[in-house]
Amino acid sequence: MGVATGGALLATSPWLNASARKKGGELSGEKARIGMIGTGSRGQYNLDLLLHIPHAQVVALCDNYEPNLQTAAALVPGAKLYRDYHKLLEDKDIDGVVISTPLNWHAPMVLDAIAAGKNVYCEKAMARTMEQCKAIYDAYRQTDKVVYFCMQRMFDEKYAKGIQMLQNGELGDIVGMRCHWFRNADWRREVPSPELERKINWRLYKESSGGLMTELGCHQLEVCNWVAGKLPVKVQGVGDIVHWKDGREVYDSVNVIYSFSDGVKINYESLISNKFNGMEDQILGTKGTIDLARGIYWLEDDHTQSGIRQLLEQVKDKAFAAVPSAGPSWRPETKTGHIPHSVIQGDIHVNGGQSMIGAANDGSDKIMSAYCRSVITGEKSPNVVEEAYCATILCLLANEAMEGQKIVEFPEEYKIPYMKF
């Protein structure tokens, strides 16, 4: 997987070692036979991942929008084609399904797939409502099948190592979290005929979308939960349609504050009419600050020598042969008065947050590979479902707070044993 799975790292990220081996031996050429449900833009992104995984075989495709189905079919000529996902679930040649559909379809499809005895991988967020999230969690607890949700940051090396540093206390006590995700794009897709508007532009309507919180915030809130090892007790916020006044129902600008029981807060902001600030997952400690999205940290009191200063001295001494090609001292110095350090050595793949389909090397390939291994081995990956549940509930609570213009406390009926507060 490319992630060093030492004891300390596994303690903070136990899912990284799940499904790494077949019970009793290696995979020995075995392949997980996968059926794809949903072949739109994200579905085709996931399809490309699967086609590059040696222990996966795509055997079936399903979509009720024919143009997308045919585009995907051209990539997998031998795959069976379905227009009704129930028929795909009846196919006994399929070991597991990958669901890449609009949010309002996640719960029905996941629950039906579990009931059909299939292993399941579903895109985030978990579901459109809290009731649906709880139904999925309860079904997962009862099944012996593997269930994954695409919380890919859990499988991103720079996140795993950064959170290990935080939980080891290397940056001191955590006193705040600041996450944001900015884009300048309307989320709207071209519609060939008016009756397809809500089918194609499902992200814009409340019946099928949780807006910025479930589409973007879900990933970042999962990271904050992972860092803290517990969940916030209440949330407040404001949401508005500031710029894209085109008939959409979901906010294009959100500002949310989550409060933990100890007073630490998550400040979350997202809008899609300005991209200057990009994306950051910033954790503030008494000894330093880390931006997990970029894999960089800064120390409050730092006596090391900056990369720029090193370069100037090397130029002065004409020591060009000593200039390294990569390394933490050469990261961009973006924080005045603070020296940047890399969380991991070598190249760091940074997701600028601008793609609406998916970024390369963001952990998506690793979590998909882990799922396919789990399909073969039957070994569940610990905490992936629980983390997806927690993050999704927090997103939906934020929407409730914004829509009701009120402070919302975490409801008792949606607490599960995994949660700490």
Tens digits of pLDDT across the chain (421 residues): 334 455 666 678 888 875 455 544 467 789 999 999 999 999 999 999 999 999 999 999 999 999 999 999 999 999 999 999 999 999 999 999 999 999 999 999 999 999 999 999 999 999 999 999 999 999 999 999 999 999 999 999 999 999 999 999 999 999 999 999 999 999 999 999 999 999 999 999 999 999 999 999 999 999 999 999 999 999 999 999 999 999 999 999 999 999 999 999 999 999 999 999 999 999 999 999 999 999 999 999 987 765 555 555 555 445 444 433 333 444 455 556 789 999 998 777 788 778 777 777 789 999 999 999 999 999 998 999 999 999 999 999 999 999 999 999 999 999 999 999 9
pTM for the model stands at: 0.90
Q: Is residue 329 included in any domain, yes or no?
A: yes
DSSP reduced 3-state for 111: helix
Pairing of strands 96-99, 119-122: parallel
Q: Helix crossing, 157-167 with 218-228: angle to 10°?
A: 30
Among left, alpha and beta (phi > 0; psi -120 to 50; other), residue 116 is alpha
Q: Is residue 129 included in any domain, yes or no?
A: yes
For residues 87 and 68, membership in a common domain is answered with yes
Instruction: Return the exposure string of 392-416: e unless at least 16 CB atoms fall within 10 Å of the residue's CB, then b.
Output: bbbbbbbbebbeeeeebebeeebee
For residues 320 and 352, membership in a common domain is answered with yes
Q: Check if the beta carbon of residue 368 is closer than 8 Å to that of residue 121.
A: yes
Q: Is residue 2 included in any domain, yes or no?
A: no
Tokens of 344: 């991991």
For residues 125 and 255, membership in a common domain is answered with no
Q: Check if the beta carbon of residue 387 is closer than 8 Å to that of residue 154.
A: yes
For residues 146 and 229, membership in a common domain is answered with no
Q: Is residue 162 included in any domain, yes or no?
A: no
Q: Is residue 150 included in any domain, yes or no?
A: yes
Indicate the Cα dihedral angle 237, 238, 239, 242, nearest 10°. -140
Rounded Cα gap, residues 1 and 364, in angstroms:
11
For residues 304 and 204, membership in a common domain is answered with yes
Q: What is the pLDDT of residue 296?
A: 96
Q: What is the pLDDT of residue 323?
A: 38
For residues 43 and 89, membership in a common domain is answered with yes
Tokens of 100: 């890449």
Instruction: Return the exposure string of 83-107: e unless at least 16 CB atoms fall within 10 Å of the residue's CB, then b.
Output: eebeebbebeebbbbbbbbbbbbbb
For residues 12 and 145, membership in a common domain is answered with yes
Q: Is residue 302 included in any domain, yes or no?
A: yes
For residues 297 and 369, membership in a common domain is answered with no
Indicate the Cα dihedral angle 29, 33, 38, 39, nearest 10°. 50
What CATH code is carried by the domain that includes residue 111? 3.40.50.720
Residue 325 phi/psi, 5-degree rounding, is -85, -20
DSSP category for residue 305:
P
Give me the domain span that covers residue 104: 7-154+363-382
What CATH code is carried by the domain that includes residue 244? 3.30.360.10
Q: What is the pLDDT of residue 7?
A: 62
For residues 273 and 351, membership in a common domain is answered with yes
For residues 291 and 195, membership in a common domain is answered with yes
Q: Please report, as a single letter, which amino acid is at residue 56.
A: A
For residues 226 and 321, membership in a common domain is answered with yes
Q: Check if the beta carbon of residue 37 is closer than 8 Å to that of residue 99.
A: yes
Q: Is residue 227 included in any domain, yes or no?
A: yes
Q: Is residue 165 included in any domain, yes or no?
A: no
Tokens of 333: 């110095």
Q: Check if the beta carbon of residue 217 is closer than 8 Å to that of residue 270.
A: yes
Largest CA distance in the chain: 72
Number of domains the chain contains: 2
Q: Please report, as a single letter, which amino acid is at residue 313.
A: E
Residue 129 phi/psi, 5-degree rounding, is -130, 160
For residues 193 and 330, membership in a common domain is answered with yes
Residue 102 phi/psi, 5-degree rounding, is -55, 155
